[in-house]
Structure 1
Amino acid sequence: MTEIIDGNAVASEIRSEISGCVETLTEAGVTPGLATVLMSDDPASETYVSMKQQDCEEVGINGIHVEIEPDAPSEELFETIDRLNDDPEVHGILVQLPVPDHVDKRAVIRAIDPAKDVDGFHPENVGRLVAGDARFKPCTPHGVQKLLEAYEIDTEGADAVVVGRSDIVGKPLANLLIQKAPQGNATTTVCHSRTDDLAAKTSTADIVIAAAGVPELIDGSMLKEGATVIDVGVNRVDADTDKGYKLVGDVDYESAKSVAGAITPVPGGVGPMTRAMLLYNTVAAASDHHDIEIELP
């Protein structure tokens, strides 16, 4: 029987423990603060930021939201980041990507104080992650690790294939999986759009993590019997529904489920974990800044 990995349930448990950490900080006179900055009129981005703010309210984090018109000068965004960097009530800063074309995305990431970079994208934090001394693990890769831990899926000595090489998921996750640390020690292969014969790589893997952004790229015929399948992809495809579309992952769920030993659904798998780990990083940032000891999950 294939085990369905329930990201909603694991994320709920983590949020509950984070709430306890927030109480500890509050009793010490510190309320963790997360600032979200939106410079877009994309409905998906607006919804995602709104959900993050709701998450903050749920666990007791002070949510600060700033909206900037998409056609505003880039200087307005950088001035906002500078102000939030200097604000002692703000412990984490998240600029919702993508930003408009006239704004340099890499410059935006570099402008955020590394100690408040709860996405873990600043070059300093990327370097620390690669060196095995992470200040913040990027939210989605960290969430994947927590799912594997919750379902007692051992990565040590396992053959893992990461399909996707983005700065947000593929690269940091591959780095985490190879590290000499819990939820690490895997023999890890990174595949991508230029990989020849992708099925030859995935079909021998104990763990397959799909993060290529291609709808249903991987099906059951490309998997080893009993493999663990973590589907990071969230893609809209046309469908005969009220909305005119449905959400699918990078994995053909039905065919993969008949082969996999454990699999994440879409939605309800990795997505809730990404949001939970953002709260985790914000609380960790507040704890580090004020040198208050807490026990994060």
Structure 2
Amino acid sequence: MSLSSSNYCYGANPCKGVMHVFDGIIFSAPNQGGGVFSCRNDAIICLDDRPTCGLSLAHGKLARAVQAEGAVVLTTAEGGQEYRGPWADIHDVLLTEQGFYLVSTETSEVLKWDIAKKTVVERWQFSEQHDSWHVNCLGIIHKELCFTAFGDFAGTRGYKNHSATRGFFRSIHGTKNPWLEGLSQPHSILTAQDGYLYLCDSETGNVRQYTMEFTLQRTLNIGGYSRGLAWRDGILFVGLSASRNTVAAEHQQAKIVAFDTKTWAEIDRIAVPCQEIYDLLAFDDRENFLFWVERILIDERTRALDRIRPLEEKLASKTNECAKLHVFLGY
């Protein structure tokens, strides 16, 4: 049974103004109908309509893995920049001070990009077969870069119908010694302020809570494909993607579900205007949330204008040609 979201508020001044449990969330959605969205006052606003996977916020930068265009979009207070490189089917991005790590799922590798040098400076390829491991999400645990994958399959998309218990969570530098194994389509590595590690075991519909020594503390089933995690003030937010295997209307819309991590009762859930969720960012400061929403919208306006200008120039040219033709034809 859900608890009323009106019982919950958050932030440095948690009871200053009306606050909803899902306020201050930015989330991404891949594939058809995807994009980047914000949630405030229980209203969902599309900030960017390009299907997007991973999100990363650090070092005064917000990074988005734009799946549809194979681009990492970097937003700062000064403006936006898009990066494209030798990768395919981007699934996640993780910011560093000098650049970012990204997952190139199609080429079965993780790459490190240096912004100043504008190039890949390091890469780890796990298989020469395209999308055999289905590497997907990144995180930093004990100062080690780590990742999740569906399994060390030999053939392209060998995980199809064979992913149950084959997945794992590993350090990039110790791939032969899994930190966690026996997972089923794992995603979403989250180290929360409560001192626990959270991980989505997506195929089973579970969220797993571990100690930082990788001891399983709790398994929470959310009744669907779990992917996308965020934690704020004792509330765990989980993305619940729509089922790809049913036509029932109630299963064709993704949701964000909020849980009280003290009681593990469901607080509330909200339906979102897309079929899948990939990543979540939960802000504990309203001004910071609004700042990044504004920056994304400014960047998208600039991108739209850049796309419109060439079309306006072509239209003006065609209009001029038509005018000349009218003069030539005498009408």
TM-score in same-fold range (> 0.5)? no
* Greater per-residue strand proportion: 2
Say which structure is richer in helix.
1
The structure, 1 or 2, with the larger RCO (C-alpha pairs under 8 Å, 6+ apart) is 1
TM-score by length of 1: 0.31
